[in-house]
Amino acid sequence: MNKIWTFVAVAALWGCKEDAAPSAPDIASTLKTYTIEQMMDNESISGGSFSPDNSKILVSSNRSGIYNMYRIPRAGGEMTPITQSDSSSVFAISYFPKDERILFEMDGNGDEIYHLYVRDTLGNQRDVTPYPGARANFYGWSANEDRFFFTSNKRDARKDDMYAMDLATMEPSLVYANNDSYNVDLISEDGTYLVLSKALNTNDSDLYLYNLETQEMVQINESQSANSGSDFSPDGQMLYYITDEGAEFAYLKSYDIRTGQRSTVLEKDWDIMGSYFTEGGTYQVTYINEDAKNTIMVTEVSTGNVVELPLLDDMEITNVSFSKDEAFMRFYAGGSHTPSNLYVLDLKSQERVQLTNVLNPEIQAQDLVKASVVRYPSFDGLEIPAIYYRPHQASAQNKVPALVWVHGGPGGQSRQNFSSFIQYMVNHGYAILAVNNRGSSGYGKTFYKMDDLNHGDKDLKDCVEGKNWLVQQPEIDGEKIGIIGGSYGGYMTMAALTYTPEEFAVGVNLFGVTNWIRTLRSIPPWWESFKEALYLELGDPNSADSVRLKEISPLFHTDKVTKPLIVLQGSQDPRVLQVESDEIVAGVRNNGVPVEYVLFEDEGHGFVKKENQIKAYSEVLKFLDMHLKGDAGTPIQDGESPSQQLQ
């Protein structure tokens, strides 16, 4: 089947064997520190569509400082730019099935209003979804390869309808008018079936199979549970879907469209995130979220045998896809300590080619830190998983400051992925504990539901206990621990400074929610299908829940903030509006507390342009050096040991 998957691919280039790796004291003695320009010069690459003749691969890269499209020879060679945008990021989707036209997407500087574009073989580009204010999302190529499917909310901003785009005329036709505000999960390649879901809450959703020809609708799940469509079988007779029906973790089931029979296909001790079939139906690829990292199973459909994936020293394969003829597999491999690299495997000869080398050559690979998974008891005995980055220079004799890192969401998860920002801070002597507080995904539905209608309370206490765990580590200076997070994590930062003002020494708020009433009332219209579910988890701002929402909104309690704060925000952010950050900065400044504010006019919910990332992350480090280390931002020279600076 022709599927474009968007799992975050954390890939890599460096992998020293553990028995050959330098010991911690050796690394500390040779450790170099790096500027933010050096660290952000690690290249980020994603995607990997094979051209129709398998001669090249289409990817997206931020090599130029902003995401653009590039092509790489499949056999290896130089990466050639296809686009040269210097404003909006360009994200490749796919080569066309029969020719080298390219489908890609762009939004407006982070406003999340994506349009689909076609680039022809002469280099001409055309917006094929030029509807003002409307979003478009690609859903796959048709079986006969004469059209592609996409959703758009051009008819009603609150509802995503399904369209088919004729490849000869580039004219769309309406396939399904989504009058009941379903979420569209899948469409079959023959255009006969839609898989629709309806959110009941942020934990559970009903799943439906809709016949576009007969207009018959069948509910797939048999009891309240979390459900999502995954793929159709190669013969189109079976629907594969992910569910946690009757179980703690999500697993893979099948639904026989002819008989209505439901069968369990695969269960693991962790959540199965998705599964798809390759174009010819030879392989089935399944993604498992195993303790905050991707584990991938590739199964040969005819035999049920699991295909052995390549082994790479100290790296994990995190994302795979196959060429149309199933002759080649491209994959990413890496880990928390090394940025993404792209490989291609010839499935017949087993020859493997590394196509990219994305680590900045100025950086010594051994200077980067590999995270470890830790667990600690919270205030009520609940075990909290977390990901710990311990600086090489940290020791009982050379204690370092630390930060509790809180992920986005609610319901997100800190994962064992590479982050240049985290590595930059760790390289400069800050330990990071990325907590997965109650309410995080990936640890079972009971754990996931634990923060419903309780935000800013027990989830915050989990973060405080993370700080207490750090205090107990011999390499940590327990008096110098801050908190940092983006989006929901930014909210948790402000909640910590507001409701537990003496626990953390500083706060770093990256585009965090500060007024839940306003945020829930101003969610983007394309989230309409999830609005009621969000209200059930967080509270309805138009009801008596508004009393509690005001109580947990830091904006209304800024007089309690006593510790230094830095706030970073993108003005194009459609999820957390700029006014959230404007007002929290003004409120805290009224206390006479040191507050810094960094605003980007050309960013949305997160910073994707290297120039802005460099500015943002360097300002964070200067802030931390001044208010956490207390060294007034004294710079560390390249090549100088941070342990020398801290003594």
Query: By three-state DSSP, how is residue 620 classified?
Result: helix
Provide the number of structural domains found in the chain.
1
**Predicted pLDDT at 335:** 94
Contacts of residue 628, defined as CB under 8 A and 6 or more positions apart, other chains included, come to 401, 430, 480, 482, 505, 506
308 contacts 37 by C-beta, under 8 angstroms:
no
> What is the average per-residue pLDDT within 334-352?
95
> What is the average per-residue pLDDT within 173-194?
97
**Predicted pLDDT at 526:** 84
Question: Do strands 431-435 and 400-406 pair parallel, antiparallel, or not at all (unpaired)?
Answer: parallel
Taking the alpha carbons of 391, 395, 401, 404 in that order, is the dihedral positive or negative? positive
Contacts of residue 454, defined as CB under 8 A and 6 or more positions apart, other chains included, come to none
DSSP string of 456-477?
TTHHHHHHHHHHHHHHTSTTEE
Q: Quote the tokens at residue 559.
A: 């007089």
Tell me whether residue 524 is in a domain: no
Tell me whether residue 380 is in a domain: yes
Tell me whether residue 451 is in a domain: yes
Q: Between the CA of residue 205 and those of 224, 268, 287, 467, 485, what are the distances in Å?
A: 7, 21, 20, 35, 28
Query: What's the rounded Cα separation, in Å, for the pair 1 and 141?
Result: 9
**Predicted pLDDT at 14:** 24
Give the range among 9-23, 47-61, 619-633 with minimum mean pLDDT: 9-23
Predicted confidence (pLDDT) at residue 246 exceeds the cutoff of 50: yes
**Predicted pLDDT at 202:** 86
Mean pLDDT of the chain: 92
Give the range among 13-27, 53-67, 381-395 with minimum mean pLDDT: 13-27
pLDDT band at 630 (very low <50, low <70, confident <90, very high): confident
507 contacts 493 by C-beta, under 8 angstroms:
yes
Tell me whether residue 456 is in a domain: yes
Query: By three-state DSSP, how is residue 62 classified?
Result: coil
Q: Quote the tokens at residue 503.
A: 């626990």
DSSP string of 17-47?
-GGGSPPHHHHHHH-----HHHHTTS--EEE
Cα atoms found within 13 Å of the Cα of residue 568, Cβ hemisphere only: 26
CB atoms within 10 A of CB 583: 16
**Predicted pLDDT at 532:** 87
Peptide linkage before 130 cis (omega within 30 of 0): no
Predicted confidence (pLDDT) at residue 78 exceeds the cutoff of 90: yes
**Predicted pLDDT at 25:** 55
Of 156, 157, 165, 220, whose CA–CA distance to 193 is shortest? 220
Query: By three-state DSSP, how is residue 613 classified?
Result: helix
183 contacts 206 by C-beta, under 8 angstroms:
no
Cα atoms found within 13 Å of the Cα of residue 492, Cβ hemisphere only: 34
Give the range among 459-463, 536-540, 584-588 with minimum mean pLDDT: 536-540
Predicted confidence (pLDDT) at residue 643 exceeds the cutoff of 50: no
Q: Please report, rounded to a whole number, the percentage of residues in the chain having pLDDT higher than 90.
A: 88
Predicted confidence (pLDDT) at residue 399 exceeds the cutoff of 50: yes
Predicted confidence (pLDDT) at residue 640 exceeds the cutoff of 50: no
Query: What's the rounded Cα separation, in Å, for the pair 247 and 260?
Result: 21
Tell me whether residue 408 is in a domain: yes
> What is the average per-residue pLDDT within 368-376?
98
Tell me whether residue 43 is in a domain: no
- Look up the domain containing 606 and give its range: 369-515+560-646
pLDDT band at 536 (very low <50, low <70, confident <90, very high): confident
Cα atoms found within 13 Å of the Cα of residue 150, Cβ hemisphere only: 27
Tell me whether residue 329 is in a domain: no
Q: Please report, rounded to a whole number, the percentage of residues in the chain having pLDDT higher than 70.
A: 94
Predicted confidence (pLDDT) at residue 8 exceeds the cutoff of 70: no
Return the residue matching tokens 């931390």: 624
Tell me whether residue 480 is in a domain: yes
Predicted confidence (pLDDT) at residue 349 exceeds the cutoff of 90: yes
Q: Which residues pair with 195 in a beta bridge?
A: 186, 209
Residue 527 DSSP class: G
Predicted confidence (pLDDT) at residue 6 exceeds the cutoff of 50: no
Query: By three-state DSSP, how is residue 187 classified?
Result: strand
Sheet strands (E) in 513-593: 565-570
CATH number at 376 reads: 3.40.50.1820
Q: At what angle do helices 420-427 and 610-624 cross, to 10 degrees?
A: 30
Phi, psi for residue 495 in degrees, rounded to 5: -65, -40
Mind listing the pLDDT tens digit for each residue in 185-203? Answer: 999 999 999 999 999 988 9
Predicted confidence (pLDDT) at residue 10 exceeds the cutoff of 50: no
CB atoms within 10 A of CB 264: 13
Query: What's the rounded Cα separation, in Å, for the pair 578 and 581?
Result: 6
Predicted confidence (pLDDT) at residue 644 exceeds the cutoff of 60: no
For the chain, the straight-line distance linking the first and the last C-alpha, in angstroms and rounded, comes to 59
Mind listing the pLDDT tens digit for each residue in 253-289? Answer: 999 999 999 999 999 999 999 999 999 999 999 999 9
Q: Which residues pair with 127 in a beta bridge?
A: 117
Give the range among 18-22, 171-175, 226-230, 284-288 with minimum mean pLDDT: 18-22
Q: Quote the tokens at residue 220.
A: 């797939």
Query: What's the rounded Cα separation, in Å, for the pair 445 and 106?
Result: 35
> What is the average per-residue pLDDT within 521-526?
88
